[in-house]
Amino acid sequence: MTDPVRPLRVAMIGHAFMGAAHSQAWRSAPRFFDLPLDPVMTVAVGRDAARAADAADRLGWAQSSSDWRAVVARDDIDVVDVCTPGDTHAEIAIAALAAGKHVLCEKPLANSVAEAEEMAAAAASAAERGVRAMVGFTYRRVPAIALARRLVEQGRIGEIRHVRASYLQDWISDPEAPLTWRLDKEKAGSGALGDIGAHIIDLTQHITGDRILEVSAQLETFVKERPTADGDRGAVTVDDAAVFIGRFTGGALGIFEATRFATGRKNSIRIELNGSAGSLAFDFEDMNVLELYDASEPAETAGFRRILVTEPEHPYVEAWWPPGHGLGYEHGFTHQVVDLVNAIAAGTDPAPTFADGLQVQRVLAAVESSSDTRTWQEIPT
């Protein structure tokens, strides 16, 4: 007889969009992947008791609570999954790590470099006690992105010279769209920059294996005031769009664009890398495809090839459907849970670590100060 798989009891703080995506992941990971620990969806937490109870019911959590501090202190919780707005990440994650809980924290890691530094220090000292921390840059776990990383590591596109990345949405292009927490600097830290720009910073650094060294940036807030819930109008205190150029440690030039004003683009992440031996191109609107150009092919037949990333040989895919039956947005979250649970069981640090989250935070801060001062800014290490 094999030993029963030990439970891994999870508390999730926050139950809106990200909470729903994480719940789906905690539910499906053990059903499709052979995990060394068995995630138990123990308690969902929200500020309002009735709404938390309703969310717990709907999303599949055994209990609900409106007191995250009490939950984090419970002996029957092993993992704290932080799905709240950025202004509470540091407090919750640091308290959870101090209480000996493994932490998964939504991106961007924090609202400021100072908070992210404290979180990374807390994670480093928790790691010495066998406690793990991971930041949720989920798109790393889209199979086509994971394949891109693998191909770069194998040297398939050679030395990378150009990195071109954009993350385009349009959900506030209507000037009458309401003033939500994502448009409030106190709550969100920054706007398009931290919310979606953080993803392309992480993705390009992850795929290339290089760091961004310096940036020159411009931020813009196109609509300065919006309707509030009480029928009044309030100031938008974050950027609507961020554009910047940068240099990578490996010598590549980078060009980045993050906006919530790209009408018609709903969740478009495009990344193209041009290297000495070929190119790779990814577009989230066709997320099961990775394009590869191999510069060694004879000119007569050379050209970008569409790799349909649905084969069992591709990262994460074997656990899912037969070839050609693609995956969606939610699968990245499931793969994130799989990697976290495997790392906890193996006693290793799951990537991206809080130190990686801190490094992205430093790039975000450099982008903001470059835009403010109209100068190039280096990213401190």
Whose tokens are 């000996």? That residue is: 100
Find the binder of ligand SOE among 195, 202, 210, 239 (CB under 6 A).
Answer: 195
227, burial (CB in 10 Å: exposed 0-12, middle 13-18, buried 19+): middle
List phi, psi (to 5°) of 47: -65, -35
Least distance CB 351 / ligand SOE (angstroms): 18
- CA 248 – CA 203 distance, rounded (Å): 13
Residue 366's CB is within 10 A of a number of other CB atoms, namely 24
Assess contact for 137 and 199: CB atoms under 8 A: yes
By CB under 6 A, residue 63 contacts ligand SOE: no
Residue 166, interface with ligand SOE (CB under 6 A)? no
Output the smallest distance, CB 220 to ligand SOE, in A: 17
Between residues 21 and 44, which has the closer beta carbon with respect to ligand SOE? 21
Q: Should residue 268 be labelled a site residue for ligand SOE when binding is judged by CB under 6 A? A: no
DSSP letter at 195?
I
Name the residue nearer to ligand SOE (CB basis): 28 or 169: 169
CB of 218 to ligand SOE, least distance (A): 20
Nearer to ligand SOE, 195 or 239 (CB): 195
| 17 makes contact with ligand SOE (CB under 6 A) | yes
Output the six-digit token pair for 293.
Answer: 């150009």
**280 contact partners, CB below 8 Å, separation of at least 6:** 148, 151, 152, 157, 207, 271, 272, 273, 290, 291, 292, 293
Q: Could you tell me the two tokens for 306?
A: 């569409």
State whether the Cα torsion 299-305-311-313 is positive or negative.
Answer: positive
Whichever of 20 and 98 has its CB closer to ligand SOE, that residue is 20
Min. distance of Cβ 190 from ligand SOE in angstroms? 12
Angle (nearest 5°) at CA 137 between 369 and 339: 150
Does 169 interact with ligand SOE (rule: CB under 6 A)? yes
312: exposed, middle or buried (Cβ count in 10 Å: 0-12, 13-18, 19+) = exposed
User: Toward ligand SOE, which CB reaches closer, 237 or 267?
Assistant: 267
Measured CA to CA in angstroms, residue 353 lies from 84, 106, 117, 140, 177 at distances of 18, 12, 12, 13, 35
Task: Please classify residue 166 by burial: count the beta carbons closer than 10 Å to its beta carbon, then call 0-12 exposed, 13-18 middle and 19+ buried.
Answer: buried
Amino acid (1-letter code) at residue 268: S
Least distance from ligand SOE to the Cβ atom of residue 2, Å? 37
Which of 63, 267, 268, 342: binder of ligand SOE (CB under 6 A)? Answer: 267
For residue 42, the minimal CB distance to ligand SOE (Å) is 25
Residue 328 binding ligand SOE, by CB under 6 A: no
Residue 196 is a binding residue for ligand SOE (CB under 6 A): yes
CB nearer to ligand SOE: pick between 78 and 257 = 257
Comparing every residue's Cβ against ligand SOE, the nearest one is 195
| Choice between 142 and 160, CB closer to ligand SOE | 142
# chain residues binding ligand SOE, by CB under 6 A: 5
Q: How far is the CB of 195 from ligand SOE (least distance, A)?
A: 5
φ/ψ bin of 110: left (φ > 0), alpha (ψ from -120 to 50), beta (otherwise): beta
Between 71 and 236, name the residue whose CB sits nearer to ligand SOE.
236
User: Distance (Å, rounded) from C-alpha 121 to C-alpha 106?
Assistant: 17
Nearer to ligand SOE, 115 or 195 (CB): 195
Chain residues that interact with ligand SOE, rule: CB under 6 A: 17, 169, 195-196, 267
